[in-house]
Amino acid sequence: MMKALEKSRPEVGLWQVTAPVPEIGPDDVLIRVRKTGICGTDIHIWNWDDWAARTVPVPLITGHEFAGEIVELGRNVTGLAVGQRCSGEGHLIGRDSRQSRAGKFHLDPATRGIGVNEQGAFAEYLRLPSFNVVPLPDAIDDEIGAILDPLGNAVHTALSFDLVGEDVLITGAGPIGIMAAAVARHVGARHVVITDVNPTRLELAAKVADVVPVNVAQEDLGDVKARLKMREGFDVGLEMSGNQQALDQMVENLVMGGRIALLGIPPGKSPVDWSRIVFKAITIKGVYGREIFETWYKMIAMLENGLNIRPVITHRLPADDFAQGFEIMRSGSSGKVVLDWS
């Protein structure tokens, strides 16, 4: 038996339970989980909002951001070893769709998520298809390994467009926005401006990366452009907040022919000034998950090459104190919260 965090009932909260250690199939591995990250998705599941109630079966062990060690191999598994440290892609893909068969695994419409549709990683043990396992080099310790999933979102979004020498605007200074800012810096953007209305988050952003934090409740982006001596506007926008005003400000402050990657999810339908986007000839790309496994390759290479995201982890707690961890996350002012299962 093992310790796990479960959505046991269709109501607010998560509960610590004793559950059977998962049995693995011939193509799976069993992972002893060491560290897990709490994600915004987990907060939706904790809060049991409309999305969670529609999506998550009950009971379910939640959690999808993890690092651990392989302790058992299915009989068909090759190329992995017991004792190997790993993280892994939490999207379990189908193999039949057009995109999947074309090798674009992250675009498979039949994707199921661990901790959302299938048993998750907030547990001492996790079953994962060996295909999804990503071995960790020694340079990446368990707490960084536990946040590769959201770093992957940040990297996938940031690398959607060429950032070399570009001026980049990031709206939303949550952990993923902050990590995207660090990535933009790392790959050679000129100015990286990150906006929010939460001073704590902006402070954290400035601690993690060499960026210009802007509180848009107090300062106008037009003034920021003048201060940075930008002639026309930002070349690339990374929208991480799902906030309507943030998108409007982004469109307003982009150059003609600017490019936007959208990761933030608006709460519902939101009005967009499409004529502005047409006349500015703006390209918009929706971003989902990580490119499997290209994003993983790139982010591990960048971490080995000096990308430092560690300060984005603001809280480290034993798994038994999960309720406190969720409380910190729900405050909206924290960076990443990592739970220790060892």
> C-alpha distances in angstroms, 296 versus 65, 86, 99, 301?
14, 12, 19, 8
Are β-strands 336-340 and 313-318 bridged in parallel, bridged antiparallel, or unpaired? parallel
Phi, psi of 169, deg, nearest 5: -110, 125
65/196 with CB nearer Zn ion: 65
For 135, other C-beta atoms within 10 Å of its C-beta total 15
CB of 283 to Zn ion, least distance (A): 26
Q: How many CA atoms lie within 13 A of 89 on its CB side?
A: 22
Single out the catalytic residue among 36, 41, 62, 111.
41
Task: Between 156 and 225, name the residue whose CB sits nearer to Zn ion.
Answer: 156
When CB distances to Zn ion are compared, the closest residue is 39
Which residue from 238, 231, 243 is spatially nearest to 211, judged by alpha carbons? 238
From the CB of 135, what's the least distance to Zn ion, in Å?
20
Phi-psi region of 172 (alpha: psi -120 to 50; beta: other; left: phi over 0): left
Q: Whole-angstrom Cα distance, residue 5 to residue 13?
A: 10
Q: Cα 210 to chain center, whole Å?
A: 20
DSSP 162-202: --TT--EEEE--SHHHHHHHHHHHHTT-S-EEEEES-HHHH
Note if 41 is an active site residue.
yes
* Closer by beta carbon to Zn ion, 4 or else 39: 39
Residues at the contact surface with Zn ion, assessed by CB under 5 A: 39, 65, 149-150
Whether 44 is a known active-site residue: answer yes
Give, as one character, the DSSP assignment of residue 278: H
DSSP strands (E only) in the chain = 2-7, 15-19, 28-37, 60-61, 65-73, 85-88, 91-92, 112-113, 125-129, 133-135, 168-171, 192-196, 212-215, 234-239, 254-262, 283-286, 313-318, 336-340
Which lies closer to Zn ion via its Cβ, residue 151 or residue 202?
A: 151
The amino acid sitting at 82 is V
325-to-39, 43, 88, 255 alpha-carbon distances in Å: 11, 10, 22, 41
Half-sphere exposure of residue 197: CA atoms within 13 angstroms, side-chain side? 6
Active site residues: 41, 44
